[in-house]
Amino acid sequence: MQSFPIGVFDSGYGGLTVLREMVRVLPQYDFMYLGDNARAPYGNRSFEAVYQYTLECVQHLFNQGCPLVILACNTASAKALRTIQQQDLPRIAPDKRVLGVIRPTAEMIGNITQTGSVGVFATTGTVVSESYIIEIEKAWPEIRVVQEACPMWVPLIENNEHTHPGADYFVAQHTKNLLSKAADMDTILLGCTHYPLIMDKIRQFVGPHMRIIAQGEIVADSLADYLMRHPEMEARCSKQGKRTFYTTDDTQNFDAHASYFFGEKIQSAFVELNAL
Ligand code: DGL
The string of pLDDT tens digits covering residues 221-268 is 999 999 999 999 999 999 999 999 999 999 999 999 998 899 999 999
The distance of Cα 120 from the centroid of its chain, to the nearest Å, equals 14
The ligand 1 atom nearest the CA atom of 194: 1
Pocket of ligand 1 (CB under 6 A): 10-12, 14, 40-43, 73-75, 123, 126, 154, 192-194
Write down the mean pLDDT value for the chain: 96
- Write down the H helix ranges in the chain: 15-25, 47-63, 74-79, 81-83, 89-92, 102-109, 124-129, 131-139, 153-158, 165-180, 199-204, 216-229, 231-234, 251-262
pLDDT tens, residue by residue, 261-272: 999 999 999 999
Tell me the C-alpha distance between 6 and 128, whole Å.
29
State residue 171's pLDDT score. Answer: 97
- At 236 the pLDDT is 98
The closest alpha carbon to 109, from 131, 91, 87, belongs to 131
Query: Sign of the C-alpha dihedral, residues 173, 258, 73, 275?
Result: positive
- For residue 158, what pLDDT is reported? 85
Predicted confidence (pLDDT) per residue in 129-182, tens digit = 999 999 999 999 999 999 999 999 999 998 889 988 899 999 999 999 999 999
* CA 199 to centroid of ligand 1, rounded, Å: 15
Tell me how crowded residue 22 is: count the other CB atoms within 10 A of its CB: 26
Contacts of 169 (CB under 8 A, 6+ apart): none
- In the predicted structure, residue 53 carries a pLDDT above the cut 70: yes
Residue 23 has pLDDT above 60, yes or no: yes
Top mutation candidate among 33, 36, 39, 42 for ligand 1, by most atoms within 8 Å of CB: 42
| pLDDT bracket for residue 207 (50, 70, 90) | confident
Interatomic CA distance for residues 268 and 276, integer angstroms = 24
The whole-number pLDDT of residue 47 equals: 95
Put the strands of the sheet holding 97-99 in their side by side order: 97-99, 68-71, 6-10, 31-35, 243-247, 268-270
Give 92 Cα–ligand 1 centroid separation in angstroms: 25
pLDDT of residue 276 exceeding 60: no
Report whether 172 contacts 192 (CB < 8 A): no
Cα–Cα distance measured from residue 45 to residue 39, given in angstroms and rounded to the nearest whole number: 10
Model confidence, pTM: 0.96
Residue nearest to atom 2 of ligand 1 (CA): 73
Report, as an integer, the average pLDDT of 9-26: 97
Catalytic residues, by residue number, are: 73, 192
In the chain, the domains with their CATH numbers are 6-100+217-270 (3.40.50.1860), 103-214 (3.40.50.1860)
Determine how many CB atoms are found less than 10 A away from the CB of residue 201. Answer: 18
pLDDT score of 205 more than 90: yes
H/E stretch holding 148 reads: strand 144-149
Res 80: pLDDT: 97
- How many C-beta atoms lie closer than 10 Å to residue 75's C-beta? 31
pLDDT above 60: residue 124: yes
pLDDT value of residue 275:
59
Q: What is the mean predicted confidence (pLDDT) over 198-206?
A: 95
Calpha distance 116→141 (Å, rounded): 10
The strand pairing partners of 246, in sequence order, are 34, 269
User: What gap in Å lies between CA 104 and CA 218, rounded to an integer?
Assistant: 7
The alpha carbon of 255 and the centre of ligand 1 are apart by a number of angstroms equal to 19
Q: Which atom of ligand 1 is nearest to the CA of 126?
A: 10
